[in-house]
Each structure stands twice: as C-alpha cells, then as structure tokens.
Structure 1
Amino acid sequence: MSMLARTLGRAALQAAATRSLHISTVLREESNYGANRTTCTLIPGDGVGPELVYALQEVFKAANVPVDFESYFLSEINPVLSAKLEDVVGSIQKNKVCIKGILATPDYSNVGDLQTLNMKLRTDLDLYANVVHVRSLPGVKTRHENIDTVIIREQTEGEYSALEHESVPGIVECLKIVTAKKSMRIAKFAFDYATKNNRKKVTAVHKANIMKLGDGLFLKCCEEVSKLYPRIQFEKMIVDNTTMQMVSNPNQFDVMVTPNLYGAIVDNLASGLVGGAGVVAGASYSSEAVVFEPGARHTFAEAVGKNVANPTAMLLCGTKLLRHINLPTYSEVVQNAINKVLNDGKVRTKDLGGQSTTLDFTRAVIANLH
C-alpha cells in the first residue's frame, strides 16, 4: 500500500513539474522574443497606493515578468519627501511606460498654485487621452451584466485648466478652455480606438444645449471627425441624460468620448456599475508615453495600513502594461489568475462582500499563476 502511495505521489509530482516546465518554457520563449528586460517608471501614489503597488510587484515577481521598476515617490500632500516633478517626467519620457498609484490632491495648495501635481504631470507629458475600459468581471455580481464600455476622456483642458480668479470679493470666475485642436485630437483618438478594437459606436457626451460655444465646439469637432469613419455609428448625448442612461441601460454604450470634467464623472459612475473603484483599470496616453493607473481615482486614505484595499484594479493595470510592451503571454497568465480568484469567490476583499485582506487576495492570485 505504501509503495502504491509513493508511486502515485511521484506521478503527481512529475505531472506538476511537467506542467510548470511547460509554462516556464512558454514564458521564457516570450521573454527571449522580447529581448531585454523592460524598465517601467513606478509612482506608488498616496493613500493605499503603495500597498497596491507592492501587490503588483509580488505578482510580477512570482510570474517572472521581465519588467524592472524605476520607483519615484511623488506626492503633493507630502512635498518634503516627494521627488522633483521634472525627474519623474524625465523618467517616464525615457522609459515610455509608467505604473502610477493615485495622487491625493489637497483642497488648498501649500504654495498657492492652482494647478495640482496631477495636472502638471499630464500637461508636461501631454497625456491627453485617458482610457478607462469598464467591463463586468467574472464572479462579481452587480445589477447589470455583460457591461463592456470604453470611456475616452480629454484631460489636458476644459474645466481643469486651473484658470480662476476672484474678480471682486465674493465673486470667483473660472475659465473653461475648449480648443478645436485638442477636441479634434481626442475625437480622432476615440474613432481610431473604435476602429482598431472592432467597436461599432462612438457616443459624444456634451452639454452644448447650455454651453453653446465651449461644448458646442467640442461637439462640432466630434461630428466632423465622425464623417471620416462611415463604418462607425456616431451619436451625441447630453451629459445629464448620459448618467441616467448609464444606470438604467449601460449596455447601450460602446465607446464614449468626453471633455475633461464629464469624463471624470462618467468614469466613476461606470466603475460603480461593475464593482467599484477597486476593480477598474485605466491608462493615460500621449503620443510618446503611457501611464497606467486605476480608472476611478480614489486614494482610499482611510484604509491605509489596514490591509483591506482591493488590488484588482492595480493588477489589471499590470496586465495592460504587459500587453502594451508586447508580452501578451505574461499578461494572459496574470489575467487568468485574477479571473480565477474572482470567479471562485473564496477570496474576496471587503468592497466585494468578503473578509479577505489585500495580502490574501495577492497570495491567491499568485497561487493561480499557471
């Protein structure tokens, strides 16, 4: 009997070793195909950002991902320890890719500057297109199923231009900047994205019925660009109606293109439809670089050090990074592990109705890397 047990045990170990060898061989071949290792700028961010970034690093290490991180602590609420913005910008320009946690923005600037650190980073790198792919995840029960929407937001002008002043005591004027050049650019990005990813429809979100010149210009640019893509259906929708339609029938949306402020609102609303800020990844694009960060920008400061934050969004940022740098097999391995953990439902963080910790979820993903 003991001999039979030893024989069966040996057979099981050999099978596991063979499977592990096959996986490592496939990943090694991909690594060799991609030649040298890739260096990625890493900004842990504020709040639970460092904890989520640590989870990503542990998963990458366990999967033998050929990516090295060049880490910079960048923070507006902790300026004494923060790296210089120009050093971080230089690193991203050199590496072309970045993983970024969320940066907290104080209500009042320490130096009286109206532009936040986030805005300065986007402006210096010209990260004009923020892309958030909101989709239903396996095993995460929500009111609506099979959501698959991409929200493309122009994020270098609009209400986030930091141009405001108090003309007389008690009266503040805020300038919203809309230009034809940047509106055309984001519209073309949206239609190019739809074409490349076999999407059928682009919806322009606006408030041109009230802001007839500013949003009117944005809408006009979207309409002009749409004529160059006859195979892509184009529709326009007022932003307040958009929010109602999203909570009542989100499946009608495919690709959405928005000005700055509306995009921030729609991103967060859409994230809530599929499970919350902890499960949605995003990316910001310039013509030269990409910054991957969670799609709903919340620092979750009240959870710092409690080991309760959901690392799914940050791990999904990692899978997007791997696809972007042409390491699809690694991306698929990590993505499949995340899906398996979510689908099994045994390890869930508090935001998804469970009691598991950040570390528990990370370990579960690592255990399913095959």
Structure 2
Amino acid sequence: MLRNITVPNKLVKKVLTRSFASVSTQTVTLVPGDGVGQELAESVKAVFKAAEVPIEWEQFDLSGHVSVNDDLMKETLASLRRNKVGLKGILFTPVSRLGHASFNVSMRKDLDIYASTSLIKSLAGVNGRFNDIDLAIIRENTEGEYSGLEHSSYPGVVESLKLVTRYKTERIARFAFDFALKNNRKKVTCVHKANIMKLGDGLFLRTVREIFETEYAMSGITLNDMIVDNASMQLVSRPQQFDVLVLPNLYGNILSNVGAGLVGGPGIIAGSSVGREYAVFEPGCRHVGEDIGGTNAANPTAMILSAAMMLKHLNLNKHANRISNAVYRTIEGGQFKTRDMGGQNSTTEFTKGLISSL
C-alpha cells in the first residue's frame, strides 16, 4: 500500500512515497527546476509510487531566477546537507543580470560536489545521428572558468580568472579512472587546451598523466589525450572512439551538450554530480526547456534515468534496474514517444506507458 501525503509550508513541500513492506524509507531533496522541471518531477514521483520505491521527497520549488541569498535557496542547501542526496531539474541562470550568482555553481562549490558525469548513450527506438554511441563525459565541477572570479580592471576591460589546482585535478582524475574500472570501460581520454594554456591546462594534463602512471598504469585501462577543438570534431564525426572523457569544467559542459545532440537530445541524457559527502542527480545535458514548460510535451526519460542512478547510489539496485529497464522497453516498443523522439505522446502519456511496462 502506498501513501502520498503533501505537507504545505512556506518554504518546503514534503511528499511522502512510502512502501510499508520496505525496511526503511530514505529522504531525498527534490528540486524540480525551471522550465519543464515540474512536469518531469511529477513523472518521477508517479513512477516511484507505482514501483513502490521507499523514498520520501523533501521538495523545494525554487527557481534559478531567485538570488542565492533568498531564504528558499538557503533552505534548499540546508536540506541537501541534511539528506546528503538530491534529485534536481535544471535551474535557469540569467545571462544579463550582473551580480546574480548561479545556484548551480554555488551548490557545487559550497557542497564540494566536484565530479559531474553525463552518460551519452544511443537508445534503441531513438533516431540519433549515430546508433552505437556509449560514452561518459566526466567534468571537474568546482573550478576552471566557472570559478566566478571576474572583475573590471578598467572601463571596457574585464578580467576573468580560470582557476586550476593540482589537488582538484588529482581527485577528478581518480574519479574518472575509478569510474572506468567499476563500469568495465577500457579507455580514458583527457581533453585539454595545453598547447595554448600551457600553465592552466598544462597542469591539468600533466596531473592526469601522473595519476595514471603512478596509480592506474597496471589497471588494464589506457589513457590518451586530445586538444579540445580536435575532440569536438572527433566527437561529431567518430564518437565510437571515445569511452570515458575527463575534462575541465567549461569543456565538459560544452561537449556534454554536443553529445546529447548526437543521440537524440537533452531529454534522454542521464547525469549526476557527486562529491565525498553529497550527491545530486540531474539530467546530464543542462537544458531548461523554458519554451515548452507547462505544455506537457517534455521527455521525462533523462530525469527518470537520473533518478534510477540515484537509487543505485542509495543501494536500491532492484528498484533502479526495474525502472531503467522499463524506460528502455517503453522507448524501444515505440508505442509511447514524446515529440523529441519522433512521437506525439505527452509527458503524462509516456509516463503512464512506462508505468504499465513496470
């Protein structure tokens, strides 16, 4: 038996999805996000309820338009610190509003959620540019161009600092190599621009090589490196050569979106951002979908598969596999497809089809 309870509050809405047959229920912070976020979150909650997943949602309906000093923003960060695990949609960050700090950047820096993973994988039933892509893009999440260190030294002149440290490069390198080993991947490609940025990207490349040579040389995986502009061309022309890519922040953000375009769009790319203490699972392609928000047309696949990754992180492997397999069966069956996959079904219809596949 399932019980769904909504507790209204000025700052937080809790939604309990509880299976009384389970040993314990785990609380997870839920941030639906902007654009299509609410629809995608409702889809995940419906699937979890149908699958009797022992999760209690602590939901925060915040928007990226709001300042990071807003009370709701602070409460959301407090919830993530308390629960350690979150599921998040994509939050909008204004382009032209000076002084407006991105919640995404603040969250990752404040909680030291340093490793972002985007899974770029062809799905049976989705017509992408290629049909045999299966790669992981791992980016450092807390420094690089996203350090937020900018100032105007003279009218008409802006200096933006790109921060690269050996310590943070060492840990993202280890994360990428460990990810390859745990997931039976054979090759890691370090993407950089060390031919021009000899100090910053040079440090990133040298550190990745040193970690490999001293700790992973006998592991069975191989390491190569590629300049970012060449990697961009190679990704769209022969993506099958890649297995795991490890990159600084900005390069990883760009190539994740390029990869999404190759396999069918942002609606099918699962992802996560993790650190030593905290983990936030979110679609691997940062696309808000403001133009279709509220139209019930969005593809919930990326959000659901990210939620399945979260369940594996919580050692709920049976639930995770059941849900992800239902997603794959639903898409491959072809009866339920949203517009981005070449169909005409709504978010709600796709979700109901997936639940019937459970």
TM-score, normalised by the number of residues in structure 2 = 0.91
Q: Where do 1:197-208 residues align within 5 Å?
A: 197-208=183-194
Q: Residues 148-182 of structure 1, C-alpha deviation per residue, up to 9 Å, x if partnerless?
A: 10111001000001111121111111111111111
Q: Where do 1:1-370 residues align within 5 Å?
A: 32=22, 35-78=23-66, 83-109=71-97, 112-113=98-99, 115-227=101-213, 228-230=215-217, 231-369=220-358
For the residues of structure 1 that align with 2:158 and 2:129, how far apart are their CA atoms? 41
Specify whether residues 357 and 211 from structure 1 end up closer, same or farther in structure 2 by C-alpha distance, changes over 3 A only.
Answer: same
Q: CA shift at 1:114, angstroms?
A: 5.4
Letter in 2 for 1:350: R
For the residues of structure 1 that align with 2:34 and 2:184, how far apart are their CA atoms? 36
Higher helix share: 1
Q: CA shift at 1:188, angstroms?
A: 1.1
Q: How many residues align?
A: 337
Q: CA shift at 1:305, angstroms?
A: 1.2
User: 1:72·1:83 contact (CA, 8 Å) conserved in 2?
Assistant: no
For the residues of structure 1 that align with 2:119 and 2:68, how far apart are their CA atoms? 35
Q: Residues 21-75 of structure 1, C-alpha deviation per residue, up to 9 Å, x if partnerless?
A: xxxxxxx89x64xx21111000111111011001100111111111110011222
Q: CA shift at 1:82, angstroms?
A: 6.0
Q: CA shift at 1:78, angstroms?
A: 4.1
For the residues of structure 1 that align with 2:68 and 2:302, how far apart are their CA atoms? 29
Letter in 1 for 2:188: V
For the residues of structure 1 that align with 2:298 and 2:200, how far apart are their CA atoms? 39
For the residues of structure 2 that align with 1:336 and 1:84, how far apart are their CA atoms? 35
User: 2:88·2:281 contact (CA, 8 Å) conserved in 1?
Assistant: yes
The answer for the alignment partner of 1:4 in structure 2 is: none
State the SS of the aligned residue for 1:153.
strand
Q: Residues 64-122 of structure 1, C-alpha deviation per residue, up to 9 Å, x if partnerless?
A: 1111100112223145996433322221122121000101001133xx42531111111
Percent identity over paired residues: 50
For the residues of structure 1 that align with 2:254 and 2:273, how far apart are their CA atoms? 16
Q: Residues 336-356 of structure 1, C-alpha deviation per residue, up to 9 Å, x if partnerless?
A: 211111001121111111111
For the residues of structure 2 that align with 1:209 and 1:167, how far apart are their CA atoms? 27
Q: CA shift at 1:309, angstroms?
A: 0.6
For the residues of structure 2 that align with 1:259 and 1:80, how far apart are their CA atoms? 24
User: 2:68·2:101 contact (CA, 8 Å) conserved in 1?
Assistant: no
Q: CA shift at 1:326, angstroms?
A: 1.1
For the residues of structure 1 that align with 2:68 and 2:149, how far apart are their CA atoms? 26
In terms of Rg, which structure is larger?
1
Q: CA shift at 1:274, angstroms?
A: 1.1
Q: CA shift at 1:136, angstroms?
A: 1.1
State the SS of the aligned residue for 2:310.
helix
State the SS of the aligned residue for 1:160.
strand
State the SS of the aligned residue for 2:163.
coil
Structure 2: runs of 5+ lacking an equivalent: 1-18
State the SS of the aligned residue for 1:93.
helix
Higher strand share: 2
User: 1:76·1:82 contact (CA, 8 Å) conserved in 2?
Assistant: no
TM-score, normalised by the number of residues in structure 1 = 0.88
Structure 1: runs of 5+ lacking an equivalent: 1-27
User: 1:205·1:256 contact (CA, 8 Å) conserved in 2?
Assistant: yes
The answer for the alignment partner of 2:9 in structure 1 is: none
The answer for the alignment partner of 1:13 in structure 2 is: none
Comparing 176-185 with 259-268, greater Cα deviation is found at: 176-185
User: 1:73·1:83 contact (CA, 8 Å) conserved in 2?
Assistant: no
Specify whether residues 284 and 37 from structure 1 end up closer, same or farther in structure 2 by C-alpha distance, changes over 3 A only.
Answer: same
Query: RMSD value over aligned CA atoms?
Result: 1.7
For the residues of structure 2 that align with 1:166 and 1:64, how far apart are their CA atoms? 54
Q: Residues 117-160 of structure 1, C-alpha deviation per residue, up to 9 Å, x if partnerless?
A: 11111111101000111111121122312211011100100000
For the residues of structure 1 that align with 2:127 and 2:36, how far apart are their CA atoms? 25
